[in-house]
A and B are shown apart, each in its own frame.
Chain A
Amino acid sequence: EDQVTQSPEALRLQEGESSSLNCSYTVSGLRGLFWYRQDPGKGPEFLFTLYSAGEEKEKERLKATLTKKESFLHITAPKPEDSATYLCAVLSGSSNTGKLIFGQGTTLQVKP
């Protein structure tokens, strides 16, 4: 069974304190791993897609990496505006209609 697990559930950082969020997955043939950011009461906002182990993508203070079993979202020198829930999702090889399997999310709070 395809499964996605994110850790930690919640993370509190001081502004400028770098850290990483983890997304572990088991799927039958990974077609893609996705990171989304979601602010309270809003829809998820696309951040990154990773397709193969060793791939890395960066956007401002965020960097996503992928191995055969997990992905990390590294946050460098975070700011309060980075506070949000970060969702990881995977698309397995058995899906051809865009059905993503989401993890439970990591809620990040960055204090000034």
Chain B
Amino acid sequence: DTEVTQTPKHLVMGMTNKKSLKCEQHMGHRAMYWYKQKAKKPPELMFVYSYEKLSINESVPSRFSPECPNSSLLNLHLHALQPEDSALYLCASSQFKGGSANEKLFFGSGTQLSVL
């Protein structure tokens, strides 16, 4: 199984809503990532989890709250988002090799988020 599964595929939410994005992988990868991608732009790193611990937060606003319940699951909790947060949210995973995260990222298909 070389898939990273993301749910939901599409999400529309109001600025006062609370929602969560989910990501799952069963490749035994111990590094998991959240990326944000705006249209016609490259992915931007948001968070990195290494062995279920948050290792990188790219100065992301607190209305985005990541969670890694176990080595296979990654969540992104959303609260009080702004319309400019509308984007494709991508989850990715990778192995650790030689003490550092292997660079080959496996991406999910993403969640297309629209904030009204």
Contacts and interface: CB of A to CB of B under 8 A. Distances in A.
A97 B31 contact: yes
Interface string B78-104: 000000000010101010000111111
Interface residues of B, number: 30
B42 A97 contact: no
B110 A41 contact: yes
Interface residues of A, number: 24
Contacts of A98: 31, 33, 48, 94, 100-103, 105
Interface in A29-82: 31-32, 34, 36, 41-46, 49
B43 A41 contact: no
B101 A97 contact: yes
A43 B40 CA distance: 13
B50 interface: yes
B103 A97 contact: no
B56 A97 contact: yes
22 contacts: A31-B103, A32-B103, A36-B107, A41-B110, A42-B110, A43-B6, A43-B110, A44-B105, A44-B107, A49-B103, A87-B43, A89-B42, A96-B101, A97-B31, A97-B56, A97-B101, A98-B101, A98-B102, A100-B45, A102-B42, A104-B41, A107-B40
